[in-house]
Amino acid sequence: MSALIELKNVSKSYGDLKALDAVNLEIPPGKIVGLVGPNGAGKTTLLRAITGELDYQGEAKVLDCEPRTQRAELMGKTGVIHDIAVLPSWMKVKELLNFMEGIHPGFHREKAEAFLKTTTIPMDKKIKSLSKGMKTQLHLAVTLSADSRLLILDEPTHGLDILFRKQLYTSVLEDYFDEEKSILISTHQIEEVEHILSDVIFINKGKILLYASIDELAQRFTQLTIPADQADTLREQLKPMSEYGILGRRVFLLENTESKALVGMGDLQTPSVADIFVALMGGEA
């Protein structure tokens, strides 16, 4: 099955700043991919290149479309939810559904209405009068109710409470995802989506630092917690990527270390995606 996203040596510069630096990427169907990086890492630029919002150097194919020259066709097959919803504020909610029904051949109004019935969004209110959470729910409702094989979530829950964030990702999984589709999630709160990810992309200074499955990360990286008085000896022996102290103990993050060799040294765990990213960044994140 062909990849939904294929990028070959995609670069983008703003003067002397390289926002994207020879990015190579291939995302097949059936994946939920987390895009992780600090502010200014190139996450938004990468998403804008994928959706054809900006020019770039290199080659790209997304859903069999060239993003720059076939953007209208591409956006008809792609769902995108940004931190700042781009919904027409002067429309009423029901007018937005009428509008979507008229312009998008794959829009399922009954599905959107069913989703909105689970919310407190009134159909006869103008979008500009809705709260931030309601606008995000509305954006999600119309996006998930249109046929698309790729869903891009760009910091979709920024500024929203934890209950709504959990509801949003549950809705995405239950109402959208299947083995024919993929989801690309850019978020600063990787901890809240880590449990649903199949893959992760680490990006910094426009470069892809790592692209791996969650299973590959679990095999490659290990977290070892030891008594603090053993840290000097084991640090020299194991050469951890990073470490920190907690409650009189030291926590080492190790790469490509055989777990069997660590048995008896301390407590072994699989590190979080966030811990691995910080280690690869050298503590800069």
Domain 5-216, architecture per CATH: 3-Layer(aba) Sandwich (3.40)
Confidence band of 257 (pLDDT split at 50, 70, 90): confident
Is pLDDT at 161 greater than 80 in this prediction? no
CATH 3.40.50.300 placement within the chain: 5-216
C-alpha 247/C-alpha 234 separation (Å) is: 18
Helix ranges, the chain (H): 43-50, 71-75, 93-103, 109-116, 132-144, 162-175, 214-220, 231-238, 273-280
159 versus 216: which is more confidently predicted? 216
For the segment(s) 218-280, the CATH number from 2.30.30, 1.10.3470, 3.30.70, 3.30.1490 is 3.30.70
Is pLDDT at 52 greater than 90 in this prediction? yes
- Range among 92-96, 112-116, 230-234 rated most confident: 92-96
Region 180-203: mean pLDDT is: 90
CATH 3.30.70 placement within the chain: 218-280
Confidence band of 157 (pLDDT split at 50, 70, 90): confident
How many other β-carbons are positioned within 10 Å of the β-carbon of residue 254? 23
Region 150-166: mean pLDDT is: 80
pTM: 0.87
Is pLDDT at 84 greater than 90 in this prediction? no
Is the sign of the CA dihedral 28, 33, 37, 41 positive or negative? positive
